[in-house]
């Protein structure tokens, strides 16, 4: 259909020529605008007369043949219309089917708590990040979290001097997710983001970076870290001179208990030569391999 439409367009062209006029006129002078208007009118009249002359020359010999060719091409188009309509119906039907399947997959992912398998649009719609302009920077299955960055529009000039806009970060972020028990959570945090060559903060950050900021934990500790709710246990050596005291059971806070035969601790440092079990009334039991750990807790206030 597109090829035939192109042939009709070519056949209907009587004049294929093009002219141009160049005159040096200074618009800052008193007569400049009037001279430009006069030059333009003169050019339009000349090219119009040329076109009419070509039409008269073509009309006697070629117009009937052109009309016949166009009519024949339009007949071919009519034979394609039913096929075109059928193809459009099939395309739209398939598109609606795929959209419905995708919506069902998103709904199942969100209902199961495995939201990271959903589409970015579904994730954003579900969590409703508390920024007027926001950007989904990262999602993480291990941390069961999504990271949204607050952004704003910034204007800049392109090479030709025309103004354009881009989104830049503000440094504010929202880390949120769904715990293994189905509880939803969210925290406002500030991130140290990289700057581009124009001094604007880039919309580039990871959930790992946000977890580091949230728990005030070092990057190397996250590799083997394990989380239970708002507690983060990171493998760490015991600082020299730290006196580790026996304490087989440690209630960190209400409903959070740590237990291990031979458990020793001092402050947020703990160690044991046996498995370390952390239990909570609503979270799955967490078992740490034998070793030494440092406990990190969330210092920021949770957002509803």
Chunk the chain into consecutive blocks of 10 residues (it has 304) and report each block's average pLDDT, rounded to whole numbers. 93 76 87 93 90 77 87 95 94 95 94 92 93 94 95 82 86 93 91 88 94 91 89 94 92 87 94 94 91 85 38
- DSSP codes, 219-258: GGGGTT-EEETTEEEEE-PPPTT---EE-SEEEEETTEEE
Task: Please check whether residues 131 and 160 belong to one and the same domain.
Answer: yes
End-to-end CA distance of the chain: 56
Same domain assignment for residues 223 and 203: no
Residue ranges making up the domain that contains 107: 1-10+24-112
288 within domain boundaries: yes
Distances (CA, A) of 47 to 14, 16, 54, 132, 196: 14, 12, 11, 54, 51
Evaluate whether residue 243 is within a structural domain: yes
Q: Which backbone phi and psi does 249 adopt, to 5 degrees? A: -130, 135
CA distances from 87 to 3, 5, 78, 90, 94 (A): 17, 18, 15, 5, 11
Point out the domain boundary residue: 196, 214, 232. Answer: 214
Let me know whether 236 and 160 are in one domain. Answer: no
Tokens of 74: 């339009």
Is residue 79 assigned to a domain?
Answer: yes
18 domain-assigned? no
The answer, as to whether pTM is greater than 0.95, is: no
The per-residue DSSP string of 37-85 comes to: HHHHHHHHHHHHHHHHHHHHHHHHHTHHHHHHHHHHHHHHHHHHHHHHH
19 belongs to a structural domain? no
Same domain (yes/no): 142, 165: yes
Long-range contacts of 211-215 (CB under 8 A, 24+ apart): 211/143, 211/145, 211/175, 213/189, 214/175, 214/187, 214/189, 214/298, 214/299, 214/300, 215/296, 215/297, 215/298, 215/299
The residues, ordered by sequence, that sit 6+ positions from 162 with a Cβ below 8 Å of its Cβ are none
Q: How many CB atoms within 10 Å of residue 140?
A: 17
Q: Based on the domain organization, do 210 and 223 belong to the same domain?
A: no
pLDDT computed for residue 301 by the predictor:
42
Residue-level pLDDT at 300:
45
Whether 224 is covered by a domain: the verdict is yes
Tell which of 112, 146, 165 closes a domain.
112
Which residue from 136, 170, 286, 174 is spatially nearest to 225, judged by alpha carbons?
Answer: 286
* Residue among 150, 7, 135, 26 nearest 72 (CA): 7
Q: Which residue, chain included where needed, has tokens 């703990």? A: 270
Residue 123 near residue 115 (C-beta atoms within 8 A) = yes
91 and 54 together in one domain: yes
177: in domain: yes
Domain membership of residue 302 (yes or no) is no
The reply to whether 98 and 203 lie within a common domain is: no
At residue 16, the pLDDT reads: 67
Total number of domains in the chain:
3
Asked if residue 90 and residue 2 are part of one domain, the reply reads: yes
Q: Would you state the pLDDT for residue 257?
A: 92
Q: Same domain, yes or no, for 45 and 69?
A: yes
User: Of 112, 139, 164, which one is at a domain's C-terminal end?
Assistant: 112
């Amino acid at each position: 259909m597109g090829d035939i439409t192109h042939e009709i367009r070519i056949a209907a062209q009587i004049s294929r020529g093009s002219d141009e006029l160049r005159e040096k006129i200074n618009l800052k002078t008193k007569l400049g605008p009037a001279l430009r208007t006069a030059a333009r009118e003169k050019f339009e009249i000349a090219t119009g007369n040329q076109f009419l002359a070509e039409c008269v020359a073509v009309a006697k010999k070629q117009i009937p043949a052109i009309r016949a060719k166009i009519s024949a091409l339009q007949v071919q188009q009519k034979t394609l219309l039913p096929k075109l309509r059928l193809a459009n119906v099939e395309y739209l039907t398939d598109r609606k089917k795929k959209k419905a399947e995708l919506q069902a997959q998103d709904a199942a992912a969100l209902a199961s708590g495995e939201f990271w398998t959903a589409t970015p649009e579904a994730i954003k719609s579900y969590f409703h990040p508390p920024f007027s302009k926001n950007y989904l920077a990262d999602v993480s299955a291990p941390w069961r979290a999504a990271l949204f960055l607050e952004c704003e529009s910034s204007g800049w000039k392109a090479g030709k001097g025309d103004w354009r806009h881009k989104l830049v970060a503000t440094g504010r972020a929202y880390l949120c997710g769904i715990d293994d028990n189905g509880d939803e959570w969210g925290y406002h945090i500030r991130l140290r983001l990289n700057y581009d060559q124009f001094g604007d903060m880039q919309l580039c950050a990871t959930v790992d970076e946000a977890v580091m900021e949230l728990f005030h934990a070092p990057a190397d500790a996250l590799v083997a870290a394990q989380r239970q709710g708002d507690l983060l246990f990171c493998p760490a050596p015991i600082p020299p001179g730290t006196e580790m005291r026996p304490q087989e059971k440690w209630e960190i806070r209400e409903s959070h208990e740590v237990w291990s035969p031979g458990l020793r601790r001092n402050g947020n440092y703990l160690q044991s030569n046996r498995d370390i079990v952390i239990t909570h009334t609503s979270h799955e039991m967490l078992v740490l391999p034998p070793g030494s750990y440092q406990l990190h807790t969330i210092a920021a206030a949770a957002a509803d």
